[in-house]
Chains A and B, each alone.
Chain A
């Protein structure tokens, strides 16, 4: 019987674990936190799927919108698979008890979302991700009770067990016992989310830090499209973070404006007409940056009743954290880092360049090209988990794992030496400095000079990180994850510097046009400490 180690228990990890268990495969589902703490619960707006009863919409249009929104570098075959599977994924989620918002006829309702030619975003109020997590946790519980899924709680990823281009398991760290444990498996699926920590506090979870992708990169796993970082146009500044104002607010009719000479300027509508407020996120964020004024989002004209029924979470969030009554006043908004189109490079079955090592959900780079459409990330999280499970189930079990005893001992000894030392330079300061560097130099608009400064800064932080001793004032995880996070940041900056064009979420003031020469995914690899970049024109990963 096969055993698969799934690392991360948000929606993509749950989706993969459930699909594997359905096929009778044993799953070890490892994560530092329960599924309820995953970033998936924060996904607000919805999940895209064509309504078969809507004569104006079609799967072909969904594919076209996704490819166009991603500025034509996502794989056509990959995107077609995603969009074709969407309607059955919605039906499956419904059967699992997801509480979708319904229309007057009792059918699943759909709302308008950015960059889409039809209303095709199914939703659960403004807490779609949370509602799906609740349903999938229950579905997974059934397999836990049957002994097919075993949850490994408080398990942090440390590194993969890789030999000769093949993955045999992973080393996991338990903060409560301060111990490293090797877990062997026939396949390993990474479902660790995006790399928020590169930018400090983003709209997402503080627990998604990108360490796993960074560490795997140093272990020889290729990364893809790192330069494409989505700035969500509408976030609300609060003392503790920038909070997402769901795209659903604009899907319901919300209008963006700034004030000039005492008058409201509806700049998106002026530039793009009626649908201007629902242009793809990269376009809206760029226009807001160009406006150079405080932008507001107005939904007050919808009325208290509609707001209460359709976007109550937006209303509550604004009142709770800023005492703004959105039924009466506009919301001051600004763009903020929200989603990473880049991540671990995977092929159509979601396998990396290391055999038996897979990646799903936001930590994998797939489907979204240079810019993701709202409503496609929840879809991709579920679909990618299923795709990986399908591929794994068709594989034979691993041959006997090579002997990793020496590797495990080396890592354990390194920990012991580290725990005995004491740092004068706290880890969290370096993470804060990194976030400052990334925010300053990897914003919505980039150029050669800023990227050069960022690279210089990150190399300096890396040189400190290599010499740093153990900072006992924070968790051990924060200590050992530092180099991986910094390496991922360096790879991101190098990828942004190499792409000498503007495309989707990657905007270069020194190369303002899209260039055919770069119409492909970037792939970055690390060998013996050297980083090399190429463009995947032959479709090794996504086609």
Chain B
């Protein structure tokens, strides 16, 4: 198969496409594929030209850290859990996330995510556990547990039609953090409802594409519903 990768040597450099050939098994992930290309003795592209090693970010290599978020054949996904066998066609394309500045090749600067959360003062002020009991408590726990697994990988922002660099609208990951804070603050957190309205509710057109690409399968619509009921 052909692997077409969008490359950029350094921040601000002109991006270009480069194609590599891969003839190995398809039961590996895109992360393994990038490793395979990078560790060849001589890295050459499809035309035989020497190529620099491909820059990409990884840490856990098993879908737990979000480092390797990128756009694979048009879909935002984690490279370490996207298998070649599930990709259609004989050519796959790999691009960096487009909503963040590129540092090199597939590595992007996602610091805007944390900046947004900081701007919105997204933290628990006075912890107060939920007073729900029985099945309602269990349901609350499950949503909190799932929500707290957010990787801050940025895939939900990449796919979102409303997210434009986090100037005002902070996206699904922010809505989920708002729920996590609110549900653990009793009635003590009116501020979080205000920032939710300002930085999420006012800008979300409810395409819910964020839920399709979330690697943690977070039930964002449940978080939104909980925040909107307030």
Contact = CB atoms under 8 A, between A and B. Distances in A.
A302 B120 CA distance: 44
B192 to A, nearest CB: 11
A55 interface: no
Nearest to B113: A34
Q: Which 6 pairs of residues, A with B, have the shortest CB-CB distance?
A: A134-B148, A138-B123, A205-B59, A473-B53, A142-B123, A207-B59
A154 B110 CA distance: 11
A131 B60 contact: no
A241 B61 contact: yes
Contacts of A365: none
Interface hub of A34, A94, A131 (most chain B Cβ within 10 A): A34
A33 B11 contact: no
B121 A41 contact: no
B54 to A, nearest CB: 10
Interface in A410-463: 428, 432
Interface string B28-52: 1101100100110001000000001
Contacts, number: 129
A432 to B, nearest CB: 8
A474 B111 contact: no
B61 A139 contact: no
Contacts of A180: none
Contacts of A473: 43, 52-53
B99 interface: no
A33 B57 CA distance: 10
Interface of A: 33-34, 36-39, 41-42, 94-97, 99, 101-102, 106, 124-125, 127, 130-131, 134-135, 138-139, 141-142, 144-145, 151, 153-154, 175-176, 201, 205-207, 239-241, 243, 317, 320-321, 428, 432, 472-475
Contacts of A97: 124, 127, 148, 180-181, 184
Nearest to B67: A37
Given A139-B123, A153-B111, A41 B64 contact: yes
B81 interface: yes
Given A42-B65, A95-B127, A97-B127, A151 B141 contact: no
A135 B148 contact: yes
A131 B127 contact: no
A101 B146 CA distance: 12
Contact of A141 (B110, B111, B123, B150): B123
A41 B65 contact: yes
Given A102-B141, A317-B62, A145 B148 contact: no
B221 interface: no
B145 interface: yes
17 contacts: A34-B111, A41-B64, A95-B127, A99-B148, A124-B148, A134-B148, A134-B149, A138-B124, A138-B177, A141-B117, A142-B123, A142-B125, A151-B114, A153-B111, A205-B59, A240-B31, A428-B38
B59 A206 contact: yes
Contacts of B149: 127, 130-131, 134
B133 interface: yes
A472 B59 contact: no
Contacts of A243: 62
Interface string B129-142: 10001000100010
A503 to B, nearest CB: 31
Contacts of B118: 141, 144-145
A241 B60 CA distance: 9
A482 B123 CA distance: 39
B171 to A, nearest CB: 15
